[in-house]
Amino acid sequence: MPERSESDSRKLLRRLRDMLSVPGKGQDRLDQITHLIADSMKTEVCSIYLFRDPETLELCATEGLRKESVHQTRMKLGEGLVGRVARLGQPVNTANAPAEKGFRYMPETGEEIYSSFLGVPIQRVGEKLGVLVVQSKTARQFSEDEIYALDVVAMVLAEMTELGAFIGDDGAMKALHKQPVLFRGSSGQEGAAEGRVWLHEPRVVVTNPVADDPLTEIDRIRAAVGELRVSIDDLLEAEQLDKDQKQVLEAYRMFAHSRGWLRRMEEDIMRGLSAEAAVEKEQSAARSRMEQVPDQYLRERLQDLDDLSNRLLRILTGQGKDTGAEMPENPVLVARNIGPAELLDYGRKLKGVVLEEGSVGSHAAIVARALAIPLVINASRVTSEALNGDPILVDGDQGIVHLRPEETVARAFRDKIAMQAEAQKRYASLRDLPATTTCGTTIALHMNAGLMADLPSLEGSGADGVGLFRTELQFLIRSKMPQRAELARLYARVMDAAKGKRVAFRTLDIGSDKVLPYMKPPEEPNPAMGWRAVRVGLDKPGVMRMQVQALIRAAAGRPLTIMFPLITEFSEFQAARAHVLRELHRERSLGHPVPERIEIGAMLETPSLAYAPRAFFELTDFISVGGNDLKQFFFAADRENELVRRRYDTLNLSFLAFLEQIVARCAETGTPLSFCGEDAGRPIEALALAAIGFRALSMRPASVGPVKALLRRVNLSEARAVIDRARAEGAESARPLLMDWLATQSGT
């Protein structure tokens, strides 16, 4: 790279920085920038196009094109050469723009006399802000040095944008982290919350994108990379790392020792960027490549480079995870992802959680449900946009997040929260009343739990007991296998807190999306249908034996209820039940107290178990239909797949007919039956389940009130008749007719 071009690039960046340091209106600054760049690069035209919405670019400033086209010329993402740059996040360089495929002629700009075109994206760590363009009458290809120089200028423009350099009275350019943003994700846990952002890993804000002394910056980047390499080597020497963790760190080490990575950053610095801005430029390039790479393995490797860049930025700036900032009032946690133990550390102080990744069955979702915290998952790029302290609204019902909302949106949201609070007051008045319908049928309403923190909800919600206590959470939040005595103490405290009400302990349900940090999962093409739940317990009898012993000792003579997850055939239940009976015999022979009464049940989560021999229904003490898994297997719709998980209706008449078969088989043998899962906590679904014969439902604590309120107002015989009418009419779902019928019911 010639020294002259390096000096010219640094000179341009310094002129740009000096110009931006003078107070001015946003539009004036943009106009000055286009003039400065055109002058420095000896081109007739320089234009800045910015996103007005995620799909639309607008010409916001120009030197050389007609001024009247500013704020009038717009194009869609991917439209024309400018739209192509924005969509791909890559430069477009051509000597004959009109001849390029996809060229769009915009007569209002007067650009027909310009042949050469160079456009580069204005982006910061993957955030696409717009496109920077230079054009010339002379037909020529721009050189690599010119492309590089314009790319670096675009990088600095993006950095200055974050610092609010283009915000003036006219609001010509939207500043990052200043404007309202709507994120559409997925619901991980229902509920609504208003609060302030608390970033799990605060973003690094670069305040010095332009270098004064390139050699000093080179020394800084080399020292920081050296420190990064040492820290990774230290982590790799840790004895407690499993194979997967070591593989990730090995990938980190490979990138950290990459000569190409360091060389590119040093070249960026010699072009005029500071060390921090050079890191972010390479990080932005990695993000752009990530969006274009279809191969999952390569995407994960680019993700490693992205994470490594964040580590390097924290070293350079001294901005560690603990920035010293105080958690705001009503904090809403925002993170790319988070483990169950880390989320539990925050506890109930959080008003809500927003994640870029995650799934409805993830550890974080399970903990959020246990803590009754609204959760939105798959909120793409939220960590890039949010800053600590930003106002935020979390709509867990719709899977929507409003960041820095406008006041009209905030007022409407507060009205929604107030209405929900008023409804909760009405439900509280029903707390001590049974869920008895107008036809005299009483439905037992139980709650789901998994933490000690859930148990106070047992009394407050008015639930009749705990229909499902998830024991795997105590395994998931630890770095090593819990001890028997430790589990026994926990289970005893759960029984104590239940104050004599029935608690159904589900044995360890791991596998699929629930992976223990200290147990390497097998590589499976479809984990949801693989080695999980009771299958793990039967193949690793030591773990099952330890947990059953802990449960027996926790009972200390009190009644005990144990149920096994994902039983698919009679022999599995027989084998699992035999484990419990053996441990009962062993504890009795040791002189330890055994439960005065024990129930051993099964979760019916696969269609196969509905057709098990009659002997199974006679042997099991109770059956709990695990609605979440059963529905996904019935419809062949993965509940972790956002494309299909909401596609199929619980009130589909085929599914209801299948559930009626289970009700009938349990009635023949007098086997107690309940329905457990998300659908049990939705009032309309709960009504339908009660109408077809379920007399016990288990749900999250917050759902007990709404379900009880509806059940106490309806006649189940009439509801059943509506379902039968829908079937007779050949409907696919009973929902429309049930909704119409409910609308005619007094007080519903």
Residue 7 has pLDDT above 70, yes or no: no
Percent of the chain surpassing pLDDT 90: 39
Give the helix/strand (H/E) hosting 403: strand 400-403
Tokens at 32, concatenated: 């000055």
Cβ neighbourhood burial of 75 (10 Å; 0-12, 13-18, 19+)? buried
CA distances from 403 to 17, 177, 348 (A): 30, 9, 22
Give pLDDT, residue 1.
38
Residue 352 has pLDDT above 60, yes or no: yes
Residue 364 has pLDDT above 90, yes or no: no
- In angstroms, the CA 157 to CA 151 distance is 10
Q: Is 666 a catalytic residue?
A: no
Burial 141-175 (b: 16+ CB within 10 A, else e): ebeebbebbbbbbbbbbbbbbbbebbbbeeebbbb
DSSP 8-state class, residue 670: T
Query: Where would I find the H helices in 198-242?
Result: 214-236
Q: What are phi and psi of 359, to 5 degrees?
A: -150, 165
Confidence band of 745 (pLDDT split at 50, 70, 90):
confident
The residue ranking higher by pLDDT, 500 or 170, is: 500
- Average pLDDT of the residues in 449-464: 78
User: Of the given ranges (184-193, 555-564, 634-643), which has the lowest mean pLDDT?
Assistant: 634-643
- In angstroms, the CA 465 to CA 452 distance is 14
Give pLDDT, residue 294.
63
Give pLDDT, residue 450.
79
Tokens at 177, concatenated: 């982290």
Query: Where would I find the H helices in 138-213?
Result: 144-162
The residue ranking higher by pLDDT, 686 or 11, is: 686
Tokens at 721, concatenated: 């008749």
Give pLDDT, residue 100.
87
Q: Are 466 and 501 within 8 A, CB to CB? A: yes
Burial 267-277 (b: 16+ CB within 10 A, else e): bbbbbbbbbbb
Give pLDDT, residue 360.
67
Q: Select the highest-mean-pLDDT range: 83-92, 243-252, 399-408, 669-678.
A: 669-678
pLDDT tens-digit profile of 223-251? 999 988 888 887 777 655 556 566 667 77
Give pLDDT, residue 331.
93
Give pLDDT, residue 295.
60
3-state secondary structure at position 195: strand
Give the helix/strand (H/E) hosting 360: none
Tokens at 359, concatenated: 């799934």
Residue 109 has pLDDT above 80, yes or no: yes
Cβ count within 10 A of residue 596: 10
- Average pLDDT of the residues in 67-95: 90
Residues 6+ apart with CB under 8 A from 34: 46, 47, 48, 61, 62, 63, 64
- Average pLDDT of the residues in 179-192: 86
Tokens at 722, concatenated: 């509506």
Q: Are 103 and 84 within 8 A, CB to CB? A: no
User: Of the given ranges (115-124, 340-349, 456-465, 483-492), which has the lowest mean pLDDT?
Assistant: 340-349
- Average pLDDT of the residues in 679-704: 94
- In angstroms, the CA 463 to CA 435 distance is 10
Q: Which residue in the list 363, 402, 446, 579 is annotated as catalytic? A: 363
Q: What is the CA radius of gyration of the chain?
A: 31
User: Of the given ranges (514-528, 580-594, 698-712), which has the lowest mean pLDDT?
Assistant: 514-528
Percent of the chain surpassing pLDDT 70: 85
- Average pLDDT of the residues in 553-568: 94
Give pLDDT, residue 4.
38
The residue ranking higher by pLDDT, 347 or 413, is: 413
Residue 5 has pLDDT above 60, yes or no: no
- In angstroms, the CA 394 to CA 364 distance is 16
3-state secondary structure at position 64: coil
Give pLDDT, residue 531.
67
Give pLDDT, residue 245.
60
User: Of the given ranges (68-72, 208-212, 285-289), which has the lowest mean pLDDT?
Assistant: 285-289
Give pLDDT, residue 168.
47
- Average pLDDT of the residues in 276-284: 84
- In angstroms, the CA 227 to CA 318 distance is 12
Q: Is 579 a catalytic residue?
A: no
- In angstroms, the CA 399 to CA 183 distance is 8
Amino acid symbol at 307: D
Q: Are 404 and 178 within 8 A, CB to CB? A: yes
User: Of the given ranges (22-26, 349-353, 380-384, 675-679), which has the lowest mean pLDDT?
Assistant: 22-26
Burial 230-262 (b: 16+ CB within 10 A, else e): eebeeeeeeeeeeeeeeeebebbbebbeeeebb
Confidence band of 195 (pLDDT split at 50, 70, 90):
very high
- Average pLDDT of the residues in 112-117: 90
pLDDT tens-digit profile of 43-53? 999 999 988 87
Smallest CA-to-CA distance from 97 within 134, 71, 124 is with 134
The residue ranking higher by pLDDT, 89 or 712, is: 712
Residue 528 has pLDDT above 80, yes or no: no
Smallest CA-to-CA distance from 631 within 623, 640, 639 is with 639
Question: What's the mean pLDDT when you consider all of the chain?
Answer: 84
Confidence band of 392 (pLDDT split at 50, 70, 90):
very high
Q: Are 129 and 175 within 8 A, CB to CB? A: no
Tokens at 299, concatenated: 């995407």
- In angstroms, the CA 302 to CA 307 distance is 9
Give pLDDT, residue 170.
44
Smallest CA-to-CA distance from 694 within 731, 746, 727, 650 is with 650
Please give the biggest Cα pair distance in the chain.
98
Residue 524 has pLDDT above 70, yes or no: no
